[in-house]
């Protein structure tokens, strides 16, 4: 353990059931959340979750329990799980115990703080409403994020949550002067390794901390890794007065780890097998992410939605904490419209005239209205064809299809797969482009001219290139004949 306890109390193991360990102490039972160590070289770590009687406690193992046996001695460390904080953690990768896992040296000059911290009091919270730009057109125009708020990327498996999250890191870390903290909860180790390489290549690692509790780790470790990352984020906000971007992939895995811990502890499950304390556990984590008088923690969280069912209790409880919901659609992904964000299902509480301004609000509402009309007309088009629509409806369809294509964007993180250079688009350019499309400025151009571009001015360049290319081809054909 990184802190030396003032005392050492020994207990003995009564029973081991998977990750649950019952321990008996003869003198004094340790408090809830105390960390206990057992096994060879004290490598097995147990966190106390309940006191059974005057001498017995029940804990969840944060490490695999191979090698534990009844009668083995257990040492009470005298404190809770601790996380390293300080500038020395920047550009490093840690596990839930604060051990560096990037093959680098052990970080020096770090402080150790408990991961069980209270959320900031109401008196400390800031009431300022500010926009947080991401450089992604569809998000900045239709569902603007809040500085110090929580945004969720919601979707089933394979619709692009992690890609969108890594793109935001790339865009924001370059222009964002604060600190980025990436927290991987129960995701694949491959993703962590790829992210590390991407951040090194992008040159943004020096202002970033990564904390991982991967899917092969016990539920206790996955359940606590979010708290460890938040403790690090709170240090930069409260002590160094810096803005923090906290990226969580995936918040559903936190709920899932809590469900496993709850089941192992013998608690009666509630609806669909979730733990009865789910809303409390999620709130204890989410309420620590806040905008205070010293700085802001802005959080972007990937939220896996089981079987694309948005009525699932995990999705419903997560929704209640978010200031912006970015819903990813499998249908749009199948149509090749990336990022596959559904603009009609997604929403943001920042999308009001008093926050984003009258012009931005009007453009966003008109885009939503146009896309909603197109969605209603799709059934008629499927049955009768486009020709049967009135001229006015045909214009709406053309406008909506051009908007859909303009709101696609090539990503920096997918350059190696698509061969298209990534684009960062300012809010002003994105709004100008949408406004010009709504005014039918590009009605004489094919829809594909607006697909996978950055600013709308690229349409003219692309059209000029296509026209000149066609002219050259015709000229060479004439010469050959």
Cβ atoms of 157 and 383 within 8 Å: the answer is no
pLDDT of residue 5: 45
- Where residue 474 falls among pLDDT bands split at 50, 70, 90? low
pLDDT score, position 203:
75
Tell me if 363 sits within 8 A of 438, measured CB to CB.
yes
Percent of the chain with pLDDT over 70: 94
pLDDT of the residue at 172: 78
325-355 pLDDT tens trace = 999 999 999 999 999 999 999 999 999 999 9
pLDDT interval class at 1 (50, 70, 90)? very low
102-112 confidence digits (pLDDT tens): 999 999 999 99
Enzyme catalytic residues: 161, 187-188
Mean pLDDT calculated for residue range 228-242: 94
pLDDT digits (tens, 9 = 90+) for 400-443: 999 999 999 999 888 888 889 999 999 999 999 999 999 999 98
The pLDDT value given to residue 467: 57
Instruction: Enumerate residues 6+ apart whose C-beta is below 8 A from 119.
Output: 284, 287, 288, 290
Q: What is the model's pLDDT at position 477?
A: 63
- Which pLDDT belongs to residue 461? 75
């Amino acid at each position: 353990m990184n802190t030396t306890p003032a005392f050492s109390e020994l207990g003995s193991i009564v029973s081991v059931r998977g990750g649950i360990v019952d321990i008996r102490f003869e003198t004094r039972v340790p408090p809830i959340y105390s960390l206990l160590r057992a096994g060879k070289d004290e490598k097995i770590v147990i966190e106390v979750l309940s006191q059974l009687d005057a001498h017995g406690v029940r804990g969840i193992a944060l490490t695999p329990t191979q090698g534990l046996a009844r009668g083995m001695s257990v040492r009470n460390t005298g404190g809770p799980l601790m996380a390293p904080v300080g500038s020395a953690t920047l550009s490093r990768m840690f596990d839930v115990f604060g051990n560096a896992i990037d093959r680098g040296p052990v970080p020096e000059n770090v402080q150790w703080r408990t991961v069980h911290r209270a959320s900031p009091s109401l008196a400390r919270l800031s009431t300022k409403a500010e926009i947080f730009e991401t450089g992604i057109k569809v998000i900045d125009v239709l569902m603007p994020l809040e500085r110090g708020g929580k945004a969720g990327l919601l979707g089933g498996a394979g619709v692009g949550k992690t890609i969108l999250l890594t793109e935001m890191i790339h865009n924001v870390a370059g222009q964002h002067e604060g600190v980025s903290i990436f927290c991987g909860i129960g995701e694949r180790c491959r993703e962590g390794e790829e992210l590390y390489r991407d951040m090194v290549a992008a040159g943004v690692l020096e202002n970033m901390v990564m904390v991982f509790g991967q899917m092969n780790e016990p539920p206790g470790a996955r359940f606590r890794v979010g708290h460890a990352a938040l403790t690090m984020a709170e240090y930069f906000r409260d002590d160094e007065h810096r803005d923090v971007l906290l990226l969580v992939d995936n918040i559903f895995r936190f709920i899932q780890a809590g469900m496993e811990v709850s089941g192992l502890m013998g608690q009666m499950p509630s609806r669909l097998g979730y733990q009865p304390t789910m809303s409390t556990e999620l709130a204890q984590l989410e309420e620590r992410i806040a905008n205070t008088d010293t700085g802001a923690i802005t959080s972007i969280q990937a939220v896996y939605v089981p079987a694309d069912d948005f009525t699932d209790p995990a999705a419903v409880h997560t929704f209640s904490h978010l200031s912006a919901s970015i819903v990813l659609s499998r249908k749009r992904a199948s149509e090749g419209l990336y990022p596959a964000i559904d603009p009609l299902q997604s929403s943001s509480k920042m999308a009001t005239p008093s926050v984003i301004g009258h012009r931005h609000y009007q453009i966003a509402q008109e885009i939503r209205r146009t896309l909603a009309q197109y969605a209603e007309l799709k059934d008629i088009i499927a049955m009768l064809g486009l020709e049967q629509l009135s001229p006015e409806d045909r214009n709406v369809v053309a406008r909506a299809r051009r908007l859909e294509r303009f709101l696609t964007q090539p990503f920096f993180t997918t350059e190696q797969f698509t061969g298209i250079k990534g684009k960062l688009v300012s809010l002003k350019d994105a709004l100008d482009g949408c406004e010009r499309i709504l005014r039918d400025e590009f009605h004489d151009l094919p829809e594909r001219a607006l697909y996978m571009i950055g600013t709308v001015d690229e349409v003219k360049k692309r059209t000029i290139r296509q026209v000149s290319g066609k002219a050259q081809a015709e000229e060479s054909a004439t010469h050959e004949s």
